[in-house]
């Protein structure tokens, strides 16, 4: 059971965002997606979870097909969103809700989850992510690392089969990055598939099984993460790695 993209193309008016993208991610796998800013990584993620419609090609999520004809309000899109979760690069939280309320509210409204069961699950996952102490705080009271972990908690609370994470390690210190890596490995060991969008080359190399390099609208390299990143074959990926490691 997997996410599978076959020859997927997306454009806005006359501007091609990406074209002929083919990739796959299995359950229990952590896959890295890298590339320069503006290369279409976030748009690709939105297409996978049904927030954007592709121009051509097919996206299959656990057998649910998304293509250029898919109605964004269809049952297919609903099922895809129920089975996936997308962690945005800039994590939004309702400023007037405490973290536990912000996490529980969507499930109480859309999944008819029993409140007692939900609160127990929030507590369990907060303990795993080491953020029990922030549940009764407001978003503005959290550090960047706490917000990132709270976003992870909110994203996994409904047991998605796949998690797509956009730059969750951006701006965090090495210790916290290591903790986040441990959390992600725990999730994959439980059968969750993860697509991790990141500029953190070393983080991807250490934690992803495979990596895709998106640049100039296409996948220019892909394969086993350590092999691709240790021995890049294109000048574009070599240059990208140099720039990232120099801090741009």
| Main-chain phi, psi angles of 224, to 5 degrees | -60, 130
Query: pLDDT-based confidence at 99, cuts 50/70/90?
Result: very high
Q: What is the pLDDT of residue 172?
A: 65
Closest to 183 in 3D by CA, of 210, 156, 162, 212: 156
Report which secondary-structure segment, H or E, holds 106. helix 99-110
Confidence tier at 248 by pLDDT (50, 70, 90): low
Could you give the CA distance from residue 174 to residue 104 in angstroms, rounded to a whole number? Answer: 30
**Average pLDDT, integer, range 53-71:** 96
CA nearest to 49, candidates 37, 62, 39? 62
In eight-state DSSP terms, residue 153 is H
Its domain, for residue 184, covers: 37-198
Asked if residue 110 has pLDDT above 80, the reply is: no
What sign has the CA pseudo-torsion 126, 163, 87, 197? Answer: positive
**Any idea what the CATH number is for the domain that residue 85 is in?**
3.40.50.300
Q: Tell me if 78 is assigned to some domain.
A: yes
The Cα angle at residue 171 between residues 187 and 96, in degrees rounded to 5 = 80
136 inside domain: yes
Q: Is 171's pLDDT higher than 70?
A: no
Give the 3-state secondary structure of 120-149.
HHHHHHHHHCCCHHHCCCCHHHCCHHHHHH
In a domain, 203, yes or no: no
Domain annotation covers residue 114: yes
Q: Is residue 55 part of a domain?
A: yes
Mean pLDDT, rounded, for 198-224: 94
CB contact at 8 A, 237 and 222: no
The total number of structural domains that make up the chain? 1
pLDDT for 178: 82
183-196: average pLDDT:
94
- 107 or 157, greater pLDDT: 157
| Residue 93 within a domain | yes
Of 29-43, 49-63, 106-120, 193-207, the one with minimum mean pLDDT is 106-120
Residue 26 in any domain: the answer is: no
Residue 162: the pLDDT is 97
Q: Is residue 47 part of a domain?
A: yes
């Amino acid at each position: 059971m997997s996410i599978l993209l076959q020859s997927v193309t997306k454009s806005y008016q006359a501007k091609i965002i990406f074209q002929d993208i083919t990739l796959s991610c299995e359950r229990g796998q952590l896959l890295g997606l890298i590339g320069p800013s503006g290369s279409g990584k976030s748009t690709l993620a939105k297409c996978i979870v049904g927030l954007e419609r592709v121009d051509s090609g097919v996206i299959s999520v656990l057998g649910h097909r998304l293509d250029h004809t898919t109605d964004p309000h269809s049952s297919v899109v609903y099922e895809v969103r129920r089975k996936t979760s997308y962690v945005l690069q800039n994590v939004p939280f309702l400023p007037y809700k405490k973290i536990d309320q912000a996490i529980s509210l969507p499930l109480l409204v859309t999944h008819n989850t029993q409140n007692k069961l939900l609160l127990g699950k929030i507590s369990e996952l907060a303990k795993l992510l080491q953020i029990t102490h922030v549940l009764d705080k407001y978003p503005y009271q959290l550090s960047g690392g706490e917000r990132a972990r709270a976003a992870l908690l909110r994203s996994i609370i409904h047991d998605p089969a796949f998690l797509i994470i956009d730059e969750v390690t951006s701006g965090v210190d090495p210790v916290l990055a290591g903790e986040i890596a441990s959390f992600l490995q725990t999730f994959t060991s439980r059968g969750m598939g993860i697509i991790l969008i990141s500029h953190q080359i070393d983080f991807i190399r250490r934690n992803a099984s495979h990596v895709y390099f998106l640049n100039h609208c296409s996948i220019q390299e892909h394969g086993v993460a350590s092999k691709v990143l240790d021995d890049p074959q294109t000048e574009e990926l070599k240059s990208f790695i140099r720039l990232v490691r120099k801090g741009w």
